[in-house]
Amino acid sequence: MKKRPVLPLVLSMSLPMVLSMMVTSLYNIIDSYFVAKISEDAMTALSLIFPIQNFINAVTIGFSIGVNAVISYHLGAKQNTKANIIATQGIFLNTIHGIILTLLCILISPLFLNFFTDNQNVIDLGLKYSRIAFSFAVIISLGMTFEKIFQAVGKMKLTMLSMLSGCIANIILDPILIFGIGIFPKMGIEGAALATGIGQTISLIIYIAIYIFKPIHVKVSKKYLYKSKIDKKLYFIGIPVTLNLALPSLLVSSLNVILAAYSQAYVVVLGIYYKLQTFLYLPTNGIVQGIRPLIGYNYGAGEHLRVKNIYRTALYLSILIMLLGTVLCWVIPSELIGLFTTNKETILIGSKALQIISIGFIISSISVISSGALEGLGMGLPSLLISLFRYTIIIVPVAFIFNILFGAIGVWHAFWVAEFFTAIISYFIYKKATSKENLKE
């Protein structure tokens, strides 16, 4: 990790994750595609329940990233026993998180849906989906923790295998369980939720099987659970990252309040956009996942100049991905929106939205990579600050003001305005945070 040339190293660590994220993106789109075939009410329900679903992912992934960063640091510092303790504590604590999330999210779902709509059919569909999907929170938390442990030791291909298997199973099961093919009953939106849960379960089973039959050099054992006090760094990094990941939920909920005043079509378009943008931001997240252990390891080993080079390489790769996404949103916007609806009004609104929002894609690379690199360095608070600017401090006020001045189209312009200003702020936050750690040339 500290001797191989940077570009081949970043590619070898990132490409398996980029591929995994691409398949995950494909799953998100296919899942929504089949749900949209049920009805536009079903798609609306999925859009409204997204913030809670994202919150579950934020908590479980955020804490797991804390596990990943601390393990990588200890491995770089040749402190293997401490890495074992962190892995064991991570599994135990994230299981508790999953149990709490299951109970909490199922409990608040009715109140949450009623806040945004009085359409009883949308509410009923949202509750049917959420009760099943949220019941798998413990499975999600365990799967995420194993994923980050494997990534911390550089086992990116094994992580890719597990993630791909779960996503492919999900894609296959979606039409079977939603529409009732062969011996399977027609379950509608509940089938989509169950297919997702089964896919997540398959991923976890593969992680456990690999850990048992092809052990890695980080060990999980109950003896490590009681060997040390809980490392505060897990939460010191994990909580800011969780808040970082949860902020899109707050953003979507805020924008839904504005857009619902116009028509259901605008709420659907926002939901469709967040499905489509996973094709860009999840692969970019794959790059971030690839560089986190590299940055953590090299930082722990004192290779500060190498950390800087890894950051630059990741930034250039992200810009290439975002450039491709921008081109697609300008060339075939109607076709992209048309994957999820046949409503001409929704397609027209969505096409314009994609073209406007995509103006900020390329510049957003600075914010995304800076935030991920800071997490790899164990600097959760500066990373959170970047996301606060990106998802709340700038975009929400701008969206409300632009909505008053320009109508619903002003909400779409708020996206690229927020990306441009956040990119500038991110540059200075990253520069200041890393200069304190002697990461200059």
- Per-residue pLDDT tens digits of the chain, which is 441 residues long: 677 888 888 888 888 778 777 776 676 777 788 888 888 899 889 888 888 988 898 899 889 988 988 898 888 888 888 888 889 999 999 999 999 999 999 999 999 999 888 899 999 999 999 999 999 999 999 999 999 999 888 887 888 889 889 888 988 999 999 999 988 899 999 999 999 999 999 999 999 999 999 888 888 888 887 766 777 778 887 888 788 778 888 898 899 889 988 888 898 899 889 888 888 887 888 899 889 888 888 887 777 888 889 999 999 999 999 999 999 999 999 999 998 888 899 999 999 999 999 999 999 999 999 998 998 887 878 988 998 999 999 999 999 999 999 999 999 999 999 999 999 999 999 988 887 555 543
Give the amino acid at 244: N
The amino acid at 309: N
CB contact burial 122-145 (16+ within 10 A = b; e otherwise): bbebbbbbbebbbebbbbbbbbbb
Rounded to the nearest 5 percent, the helix, strand and coil shares of the chain are 85, 0, 15
The predicted structure's pLDDT at residue 441: 39
Instruction: Compute the distance between CA of residue 248 and CA of residue 192 in angstroms, rounded to an integer.
Output: 22
Contact 230, 92 (CB under 8 A): no
Torsion of CA 338, 358, 54, 231, to 10 degrees: 150
Are 313 and 288 spatial neighbours (Cβ–Cβ below 8 Å)? Answer: no
The predicted pLDDT at position 437 comes to 52
CA distance 5 to 10: 9
Q: How far apart are CA 16 and CA 109, in angstroms?
A: 35
The residue to which tokens 């199973």 are assigned: 169
- Which of 155-158's residues contact partners 24+ apart within 8 Å by CB, and which partners? 155/216, 156/12, 156/13, 156/14, 156/16, 156/17, 156/290, 157/16, 158/210, 158/214
DSSP 3-state assignment of 437? Answer: coil
Neighbours of 183 (CB within 10 A): 6
Contact 285, 270 (CB under 8 A): no
- Give CA–CA dist 89/82, Å, rounded: 11
The structural domains of the chain, with segments of one domain joined by +, span 6-436
Angle value at C-alpha 372, between 369 and 374, nearest 5 degrees:
110
How far is it, in rounded angstroms, from Cα 72 to Cα 101? Answer: 27
The answer to whether residues 377 and 241 touch, using CB atoms and an 8 Å cutoff, is no
Q: Which of 358, 351, 339, 332 has its CA nearest to residue 413?
A: 358
pLDDT of residue 29: 75
Q: CA nearest 317: which of 3, 4, 8?
A: 8
